[in-house]
Structure 1
């Protein structure tokens, strides 16, 4: 969603009203950081407003074409995102990278694992040199071999519509012991679009995912876009979703 005047107001409001709920936002000016050294004025103003809050993590979008995109191009974009921290007028830093269309198979000779290992290393170096976390998220949209967790802080194991979602009870299982399955569930992210249930049904879904231990969750009524969710609009239940996530996380902490 481009930050035209007023467009991100519901985001700012949610972050302000729910200080105990952590938010991770993917910043995507132009399928990457855009052509300039820094983003345009609309983005700089909006990012700076989000960076005021301690319960927000911002990560910059890059795509990898499932491990076929030239590594030098992706690395250059990672370094440009990291350099946003050097902007002198406002605090527009992002905390890491969201690598979309990430490979989910090891590849011949583990070439795809090596690809992500390289991106992970460059992300950590580029951001940590500037005192930032270098949070690295990959999005293969599937359960991946456990080896990938050595080179990611979080992995999107599901991104698809609510209708095509397999049984929640088996969403994170795998018959292959070399796959991540539930072993790394706290480092898995789930992005569910085209949700067509009620707000109460969404709450039950959120409670189930949080109770199961999923690290990051997003549910939207919007979608699909080009094969994935339409993230350029607010979900019909955006405010309800944030409240439900906060309640579910608080309940999970009490259970612990």
Structure 2
């Protein structure tokens, strides 16, 4: 069943910032959400606003929370990456994570990521027997050994125009693949022949693990710092026939 991956890169200055996600979690309790928490392009030091709002998300059993860790496409010092994992793991149980989201994953297999995955898997995460691992190369990696290291891999992160050009997307391991699409405007606008619902249905039919679609334009804004105006419709489309 396809779930929703949520790059939650906005600061919760008020509870209203994360309210669209909170509403979706409550409305569709049988729909799985994979929420990426990113205080400061990494763990930073979660202030009270983060702590209280994460605690609220933790009350929903359909929210799996992963901490954002940048890897610089394999160039970031491994000691820094491992320290970020340790920092997230050390957060208080009341606002703890379930695992890690490795951004900027090198597309060609890099054995360094084995140590990163092992660190997440063997670290104690409250309420879990093993940590959850998501990697984001953002493009197709073929039948890579990375699939043995991660629960999910983002194998597409681009505009709707690029999605059209590359469709059908390669699906070597659809149950472990995630698709992120942004910028549904201009030449990438939806059409009567390609609606938001039809795009979502094509991803669900392919068996992808999760998806995120936003109509925010990457040339105009940080598409992950806010929810698009299509958020509610998108969530309902993914939920589809799921019984709640």
Which category describes the TM-score, using the shorter chain as reference length? 0.7 to 0.9
Taking the aligned partners of 1:229 and 1:103, their CA distance within structure 2 comes to 22
Does the alignment pair 1:92 with 2:95?
yes
1:1-256 superposed matches below 5 A: 1-5=10-14, 6-34=16-44, 36=45, 39-84=46-91, 86-87=92-93, 91-106=94-109, 112=110, 114-128=111-125, 131=128, 133-144=130-141, 145-167=143-165, 169-172=167-170, 182-195=171-184, 196-197=189-190, 201-224=195-218, 230-247=223-240, 250=242
Q: In terms of Rg, which structure is larger?
A: 1
**Aligned Cα root-mean-square deviation (Å):** 2.2
- TM-score, normalization by structure 1: 0.83
Taking the aligned partners of 1:11 and 1:104, their CA distance within structure 2 comes to 30
Higher relative contact order, chain-length normalized (CA < 8 Å, sep 6+):
2
- TM-score, normalization by structure 2: 0.87
Structure 1: runs of 5 or more not aligned: 107-111, 173-181, 252-256
1:194/1:224 contact within 8 Å kept: yes
Taking the aligned partners of 1:167 and 1:186, their CA distance within structure 2 comes to 23
Single out whichever of 190-199 and 8-17 deviates more from structure 2. Answer: 190-199
Cα displacement (A) at 1:83:
1.2
Taking the aligned partners of 1:229 and 1:208, their CA distance within structure 2 comes to 26
